[in-house]
Amino acid sequence: METEGAVVLATERYGSAESWKYFGKDGVMDRRREGSEGDSRGNSIVGVFKSVFLPQGYPESVSKDYLQYQFWDTMQAFCSSLSGTLATQASLKGVGVGNQEATVAAATVTWLLRDGTGMLGRILFAWRKGSKLDSEAKIWRLVADVLNDIAMFMEILAPYFPAFFTLIVCTAGIFKSIVGVAGGATRAALTVHQARRDNMADISAKDGSQETLVNLAGLLVSLVLIPLVTDNPVLTLSLFFLFTILHLFANYKAVRSVVMETFNEARLSIVLQQYLRDGTVPSPIQANQKEPVFLEFRKAVPIKLGVRLQEVVQSPEELNLALKENNTRYLLGVRNGCVCVCLGPDASVHDEIRAMCQAVWLSGNLGAQSQLHERHWEKVHKSHTVMDTIFNPFLKGVEAAGWDIKRTLLDWDEWRVEWKTKSN
């Protein structure tokens, strides 16, 4: 139907992907798509692919870094799938598959021991590091993949050390259990970041579809690889190291592509330090590019948030010193080389951000004097003065730069303390 002389009755669109118009002419209503119609078949195929593997409403329904992250995540999953094939073949060979002298009972015991130690490792790791997986999602995402590669390398080597086979595969099982907890939890944390329409379930489901497609592709490639690497340890190790390098590179690029707009300790420290240097507030993209993604085993002056009162003060005199500024929302102190923050029950998110900023400033200014107890409270009182001067304009600058200050990913413990504003 020609549109000449027709009247546009209505327009509609499907997200940003498609736009349609309804025309009325001679009592007939016709619906036509805007734009070129020559590649409608191609658009239809692309549209089906998007609906199957991408969240509904893409790209508006997800964060801006979604596509880049998913591309690198897909690459690492493909490499991991191929490495996993090599490791599985080695494990099966180690428990006796293809060996007529091997017994079913021995293989079963080895498998049960591996699974049992893995279960214990999963529980212990979740207990010790569960709270860190939200605040340090990028770091633990990368740690999980490094441990996964180490575990697979151990499984490949295990058959060549038959006397220690069970010990090696059990250790690898512990590593893989940590991978399961850290990988799954950090993926959930990243899904929360990516979901912009409370569509976490849809994003998670489509991520599962993408992973299944990648694993299917890895399975097809593995069918070609297995005959080549069987009884060829040199080729097995060579391919494993190739896939591992690609896997780690893709993982690094994936976590580097994530741009979180909420503060954790590292991002807040980066933003605050730049503000103190030159009065400017870096955007989320700039701060995320500088955020460390590798595990730090030791910090000069670590910060502990949400601690018990006795970790900040241990005498009425020290409590008087801590309350000198009449701050009723949080208390700061230095104990055993750590900056400790005690939080009040009525503290808001802004109070938490201010307390963390003050702790970051204090941590950076203790330096070599961290062992001089009498200087601690001088530094604490000076940090209050600094925050009184800079915090409000800093918070306005942070909000203007695009940071989300309605919530944080700061690693607060659960202790909350009520105290009198003045100690007798």
What sign does the dihedral 220-225-231-237 (CA atoms) show?
Answer: negative
pLDDT tens figures, 272-320: 999 999 999 999 999 999 999 998 877 678 999 999 999 988 888 888 8
User: Can you give the pLDDT at residue 375?
Assistant: 65
Whether 41 shows a pLDDT value over 50: the answer reads: no
Q: The tokens 């006796």 sit on which residue?
A: 96
Q: Crossing angle for the helix pair 200-229 and 233-257, nearest 10 degrees?
A: 160
Residue 104: per-residue pLDDT: 62
The domain defined by 66-257 folds into Growth Hormone; Chain: A; (1.20.1250)
Cα distance between residue 388 and residue 165, in whole Å = 61
DSSP label of 28: E
For position 2, what pLDDT does the model report? 54
CA-based max dimension of the chain: 91
* Model confidence band, residue 210 (pLDDT cutoffs 50, 70, 90): very high
Distance separating alpha carbons of residues 264 and 253, to the nearest angstrom: 20
Q: Quick one: pLDDT at residue 409?
A: 94
Q: Would you give the end-to-end CA distance of the chain in angstroms?
A: 89
Question: For position 365, what pLDDT does the model report?
Answer: 84
Q: What pLDDT does residue 36 have?
A: 53
Q: Could you report the per-residue pLDDT of 359-402, keeping only the tens digit for each?
A: 999 998 876 444 445 568 888 889 999 999 999 999 999 999 99
* pLDDT for position 319: 86
Please tell me which residue, 109 or 21, carries the higher pLDDT value. 21
**Which pLDDT value is given to residue 368?**
47
Distance (Å, rounded) from C-alpha 149 to C-alpha 151? Answer: 5
Cβ count near 249 (within 10 Å) = 14
Cα 379 to the chain's mean position, in Å? 34
pTM of the model: 0.85
Tokens for 267, please give them: 């991002």
How far is residue 360's CA from residue 377's CA, in Å, rounded to a whole number? Answer: 15
Residue 411, classed as helix, strand or coil, is coil
CB atoms near residue 383 (< 10 Å): 21
Centroid of chain to Cα 96: 39
Sorted by where each begins, the domain ranges of the chain are 7-53, 66-257, 265-400
Q: pLDDT at position 45, please?
A: 82
- Percent of the chain scored above 70 by pLDDT? 88
Task: Tell me: pLDDT of 26 over 50.
Answer: yes
CA distances from 264 to 13, 141, 260, 298 (A): 38, 15, 9, 18
Average pLDDT of span 191-198:
92
What is the per-residue pLDDT across 176-187, written as a single tens digit (0 to 9) for each? Answer: 999 999 999 999
Q: How confident is the model at residue 5 (pLDDT cuts 50, 70, 90)?
A: confident
- Res. 96: pLDDT tops 60: no
CA distance 406 to 225: 51
Question: What is the predicted pLDDT for the residue at 353?
Answer: 96
- Confidence grade of residue 31 (pLDDT, cut at 50, 70, 90): confident
State yes or no: pLDDT of 332 exceeds 70: yes
pLDDT at position 314: 87
Whole-number pLDDT of residue 423: 46
pLDDT above 70: residue 325: no
Answer whether residue 39 shows pLDDT above 50.
no
CB neighbourhood size of 231 (10 A):
8
Kindly tell me if the per-residue pLDDT of 196 is higher than 60.
yes
Integer Cα distance of 180 and 141 in angstroms: 11
Please, what's the b/e burial string for 300-324 (b: 16 or more CB within 10 A of its CB; e: otherwise)? ebebbbbbebebbbeeeebbebbbe
Specify the higher pLDDT residue, 322 or 268. 268
- The chain-wide mean pLDDT, for the chain, equals 86
pLDDT of amino acid 421: 64
Higher pLDDT, 100 or 407: 407
Is residue 47 pLDDT above 70, yes or no? Answer: yes
- Sheet of 7-14: strand order equals 7-14, 18-25, 28-33
CB 24 within 8 A of CB 6: yes
Mean pLDDT along residues 347-353? 94
Average pLDDT over residues 330-337: 88
Identify the pLDDT of residue 40. Answer: 47
Q: What percent of the chain has pLDDT over 90?
A: 54
Residue range 402-415: mean pLDDT, rounded: 94
